[in-house]
Chains A and B, each alone.
Chain A
Amino acid sequence: GAVVSQHPSRVICKSGTSVKIECRSLDFQATTMFWYRQFPKKSLMLMATSNEGSKATYEQGVEKDKFLINHASLTLSTLTVTSAHPEDSSFYICSASKRTASYEQYFGPGTRLTVT
């Protein structure tokens, strides 16, 4: 199997606070993890790519100081939304690819963030 989990599945926070979202590959080692953002009725937008033990590579237009990514191990990556604002409210999805068959990405169930 190739199962990816995310925690929390849903979070509500106040403006100005920070929120951490975890992404775990449960039954495989993930060489690379990806973070996406999805607005309502829109497709996924790649935010950043992270490899274990190295700095994340951010896509153009994504603020790396606002969206902190840590990829501490081959099974865990975290996304921290710092000083959240209402416009950060979105559906955040992570995915992971295996060492073998690396062409395929396995997606987590997503985290719905609402900033009030």
Chain B
Amino acid sequence: GQNIDQPTEMTATEGAIVQINCTYQTSGFNGLFWYQQHAGEAPTFLSYNVLDGLEEKGRFSSFLSRSKGYSYLLLKELQMKDSASYLCAVRDQGGANNLFFGTGTRLTVIP
């Protein structure tokens, strides 16, 4: 089975830094994704980690520890437009390329 956990909601202040955690227990592992989703829209790709460590991309960074089944998404210099849901997804092993999503974290950025 697949079990992927994230906090349900978070609030942070404009200009600040926020870290969204994701823990997973899956039958197989072939990479972890973070997506951003605004209400009523499709998810958009943010980052992909398959090896341990930190991947940085502008204001967004993502970290992975496979031994701990843990990842986090770090958002710096928060902007109001960053208010959205952030979805952690684990890719299954094998050729299916299936993604299993966590519950999503709804981030609200306040002035």
Query: A94's closest neighbor in chain B, by CB?
Result: B42
B100 at the interface (CB under 8 A from A): yes
Cβ 8 A contact of A107, one of B30, B40, B43: B43
- What 0/1 readout, one digit per residue, does chain B (74-91) give for beta carbons within 8 Å of chain A? 000000000001010101
- What 0/1 readout, one digit per residue, does chain A (76-116) give for beta carbons within 8 Å of chain B? 00000000000000010101010000111111111010000
Residues on A with beta carbons closer than 8 Å to the beta carbon of B103: 42-43
Whether A108 and B104, one on each chain, are in contact in the complex, defined by CB atoms closer than 8 angstroms, is no
- How many pairs, one residue from A and one from B, have CB atoms within 8 Å of each other in the complex? 57
Residues on A with beta carbons closer than 8 Å to the beta carbon of B87: 43-44
Alpha-carbon gap, A93 to B101, bound state (A): 13
Query: A32's closest neighbor in chain B, by CB?
Result: B97
A57 at the interface (CB under 8 A from B): yes
B44 at the interface (CB under 8 A from A): yes
Whether A105 and B104, one on each chain, are in contact in the complex, defined by CB atoms closer than 8 angstroms, is no
B60 at the interface (CB under 8 A from A): no
Whether A110 and B40, one on each chain, are in contact in the complex, defined by CB atoms closer than 8 angstroms, is yes
A45 at the interface (CB under 8 A from B): yes
Query: 16 more A-B contacts (CB under 8 A) besides A32-B97, A91-B40, A103-B30?
Result: A34-B98, A34-B99, A36-B101, A42-B103, A44-B43, A44-B87, A44-B101, A46-B100, A49-B98, A57-B96, A93-B42, A104-B48, A107-B42, A108-B42, A109-B41, A110-B40
List chain A positions with a Cβ less than 8 A from chain B: 32, 34, 36, 41-46, 49, 57, 91, 93, 95, 97, 102-110, 112
